[in-house]
Amino acid sequence: MTEIEELLDRVAAEAKTARPWGWDALPVPASARTLAAAEAALGFPLPPLLAALYTGIGDGGFGPEYGLLPLLEGVSSGGEPSAVTMYEGMRASDWGWPEGVLPISHWGCGMYACVDSRSDTAPVLLFEPNGGDPEHAWFIDAPSLADWLTIWLDGTGWYEEDNEGADLPPWPGRTPTPA
């Protein structure tokens, strides 16, 4: 079994038992058709691990805090729209949202965990706009999606009570692109 397969098994086991805030049940996995439609709408493929989460575990509803957003349709437990809808809206906003950076989870207060789909490692970024400056709203949450999931499973994320106030490094790769 590969490390990624082991990680997916751990995530699946946690997803079956732990409900993020507001989720009553784990949504069924997204179909291959839904994945293809989402990627067509986005204009880029999802990183393989992210695609495996959506198609193999559930169409959102698991993960830290409010859990992963639904991929293409529906709303999250916190009332947030799907990842595709969020991406399209943010790309059209005044924030100069970077192409290929997909919001996957809502933290509340306008903050999102986002996957940089342009990178082979799929780093997870924190978008924290509460300072009001688009140039300084991006931070590195984890160097890869695999690391982000492991941090969640191990209970060592910046959002955990024991780690509140932990500083995340700024994301140097942020390059604004016009909507």
pLDDT given for residue 177 in this prediction: 46
Residue closest to 117 by CA, chosen among 35, 21, 49? 49
What is the rounded CA–CA span in Å between residue 112 and residue 125? Answer: 8
Would 170 be classed as within a structural domain? no
Domain that residue 19 falls in: 3-156
Would 167 be classed as within a structural domain? no
Q: How many domains does the chain fold into?
A: 1
Which tokens belong to 69?
Answer: 């957003």
CA distances from 140 to 20, 28, 106, 123, 134 (A): 22, 30, 16, 7, 15
Give the tens place of pLDDT for each residue, 104-163: 999 988 899 999 999 989 999 999 998 877 778 899 999 999 999 999 999 999 888 877
Is 77 or 25 the better-scoring residue by pLDDT?
Answer: 25
Give the tens place of pLDDT for each residue, 4-30: 999 999 999 999 888 776 677 899 999
Q: What is the CATH number of the domain that holds 12?
A: 3.40.1580.10
Strand pairing of 124-127 and 101-108?
A: unpaired
pLDDT given for residue 179 in this prediction: 44
Helix (H) or strand (E) holding 6, with range, is helix 3-17
Would 169 be classed as within a structural domain? no
The side-by-side arrangement of strands in the sheet containing 111-116 is: 101-108, 111-116, 124-127, 138-142
pLDDT given for residue 47 in this prediction: 98
Would 174 be classed as within a structural domain? no
Which tokens belong to 125?
Answer: 């970024």
Would 165 be classed as within a structural domain? no
Q: What are phi and psi of 20, to 5 degrees?
A: -65, 165
pLDDT given for residue 78 in this prediction: 66
Would 125 be classed as within a structural domain? yes
